[in-house]
Amino acid sequence: MPDESDSRLLAAVQANAQITAQELGDLLNLSASQAARRRARLEGDGLISGYSARLSPQKLGLTVQAFIQVHFAAHSPEAARDFLRLIATLPEVVACWTLTGEADYLLRVWCADLPALNHLIHHRLLPNPSVARVQSQIVMDQPKPDAGLPV
C-alpha cells in the first residue's frame, strides 16, 4: 500500500507522465534523486505500469464515441476466444470489458462518423457467430474527461 508521499507522486505522474525528477522532488520535499528512486521503486513494484500519451480524437478525425453492449447467443470458452480474437483486430475498439448482468461485453469505440459506426456494428460485430445482438449508445458529450485512478 502506498504511503502519503507515494500517493502524491502517483497523482503527479498520472497528471503529467513527463514530470521531471526535480519537479517531483520539489512537490514531495525530496531531492531529485530521492524522488527518482521512489518513482523507480513504484515502477518496479508495478504500481506504475507504464506511460502513455493522450491523443485528440477530433484532431485524428474521430468524431463518434460510442459504447456497445454485446449479447452472446451461446456461451462457451471457444465463443469467447473467437470473439476476443475479432476484437483484437478492430482498432476502433479502444476498450473491452466482460460484464455481469444481461450483456456479456461492453465495448468503447471511436469511429470517424456514424456510417463507420454502422459498418463496425453490422459488418464486423453482428456477423460473428457468437453475437446474438448488440445495443449501442452514442456519446453526446463527456463532461468529465477520462481521469486517473483515485490515489
- The mean per-residue pLDDT over the stretch 59-83 comes to 96
d(C-alpha 109, C-alpha 67), whole Å = 6
Residue boundaries of the structural domains of the chain: 4-44, 64-138
Residue 13's pLDDT band, with cuts at 50, 70 and 90, is: very high
The reported pTM is 0.88
Residue 97: predicted pLDDT: 98
- The mean per-residue pLDDT over the stretch 108-116 comes to 98
Residue that wins the pLDDT comparison between 75 and 35: 35
- The mean per-residue pLDDT over the stretch 136-140 comes to 98
Residue 106: predicted pLDDT: 98
The values of phi and psi at residue 13, to 5°, are: -70, -35
Residue 123: predicted pLDDT: 98
Residue 1's pLDDT band, with cuts at 50, 70 and 90, is: confident
Same fold, 4-44 and 64-138: no
Res. 125: pLDDT tops 90? yes
Residue 61's pLDDT band, with cuts at 50, 70 and 90, is: very high
Residue 2's pLDDT band, with cuts at 50, 70 and 90, is: confident
State the CATH architecture for 4-44: Orthogonal Bundle (1.10)
> How far separated are the first and last CA of the chain, in Å rounded?
10
Q: Which CATH number fits domain 64-138: 3.10.290.10, 3.30.70.920, 3.40.630.30, 1.20.120.450?
A: 3.30.70.920
Mean pLDDT of the chain: 96
Res. 20: pLDDT tops 90? yes
